[in-house]
Structure 1
């Protein structure tokens, strides 16, 4: 199923044929630079299964994104219910991960803006959050470009204290009236 499109991107259900590209993306050191670790093929497959299950359970999730011109899977952009223990959870989080070859083309911004619009108009979200490691400035740049406001800093409770990724930033956006 195709959920929505932009001028250059298609947001659709996941296909079994996405698994190989998904695993390659998750194993790429540069793509995963601001995550705790790269993922093995088995871990990527488990993540794929979890994404598909979330769509079944909630009717939304991380949408498979493809470049329309080439009908090529380039990553995911979408929503996730963050439930780890902190003062702003549970909440709806917007997130994205794109293949390195898709970087620098504005796809993350274009796609995240479209996702926010879909989330607010079709899914009825009132608030959406996004967070990342404080050192992940490219991700923060996208958050600002899509209209999110900086909220606070926090230490991610699932990361060890010595991790350079422990300190996170939280951004937020409300549905416009």
Structure 2
């Protein structure tokens, strides 16, 4: 019987916002003049249509993806953006309405077949050196962020890849072929 790579609470953590420290807050949640122009209310955006894209704009470079629940962004980050945009804290945030626009502005792309193939090749080379699923996951996230590719969902990233990768690498595997259980 195969075991899961990540427990439910770990999956939930990987899909959401982590805690943010002061350095990350300053580095990722500071809007440039160009960012402000992108979020400008003159483009027909209401306050709720400005805070959501601002959170997404800052979150994508920070995490490499935007969590589904934008309203769960760290309160310090939302307060910083709200202050800079002169929008009261608590205005509604959106995710899907503006994510495509934000990724285009930041010159990021969605993970399509070509990017996933490149990721698979990247991970295959690392799987020959490492057996730790969490390390391989972290390396995958770093690779995607460096390539400016939005990280796909956790299950999509990992479902079935490591066993096939280990077989291709000529390494022993265990498990059912759809989940990774290190030997």
Same fold (TM over 0.5): no
Higher helix share: 2
Asked which structure has the greater RCO (Cα within 8 Å, sep 6+), the reply is 2
Larger radius of gyration: 2
Higher strand share: 1
TM-score of the two chains, using structure 1 as the length reference:
0.32
